[in-house]
Amino acid sequence: MLKMKDIIDEKDKRLREISKEVKLPLNEEQKQTIKDIIEMLTNSQIPELSEKYNLRPGMGLAAIQLGIPERYFVVVHEYEEGKFDNYVLINPKVVSHSEEIIYVGEGEGCLSVNREVAGIVPRYARITVEGYDEDGNLIRVRGREELSIAFQHELDHLDGILFYDKIDKKNPYKNKEKYREI
């Protein structure tokens, strides 16, 4: 099972790399990595398992966060207590997004950033992403609110962008009144 030590820290320059397109079909190593990520993210959101395995809660992880510069990410979304949807997006592209901008009230976090970062990270309230699943099928997924934020956060990782890059350095809460808090 993946452990927190397997996730590279923000100080690691590899996090700033632009990930490369993935050749399909996936090889066995890539498929296993995806399974491992799903297991870790799921366990991290179940308090007893999070504590048992010493995991920080997280709902998404991009391959680059494991030092793999490939364009894919996994989001494990708890839509109801103890019930999860897994999203695996390979070579994802944004198809459309809302005009409405939202932000996470308590601030965004990242498994590669082991500290609190204050400020507003503006994100689209809704987003539609197209990519491929583990079997190489073209898929289109729509995310709203929390899921939309997770998709955008992970998409940024594929381009070497960390969430705090989007926070205004001089005024971390700039435009708070214009955006909707979730």
H or E element that contains 3:
none
Which residues, in sequence order, are bridge partners of residue 78? 84
Rounded to whole angstroms, how far apart are CA atoms 134 and 26?
A: 7
CA distances from 82 to 48, 49, 132 (A): 12, 12, 26
Rounded to whole angstroms, how far apart are CA atoms 124 and 3?
A: 31
Q: Which of 51, 108, 154, 177 is catalytic?
A: 154
Give catalytic status of residue 181 as yes or no: no
Rounded to whole angstroms, how far apart are CA atoms 71 and 64?
A: 8
Q: Which residues contact 2 (CB under 8 A, 6 or more apart)?
A: 36, 37, 39, 40, 66
Q: Which residues contact 166 (CB under 8 A, 6 or more apart)?
A: 121, 122, 156
Catalytic residues: 154
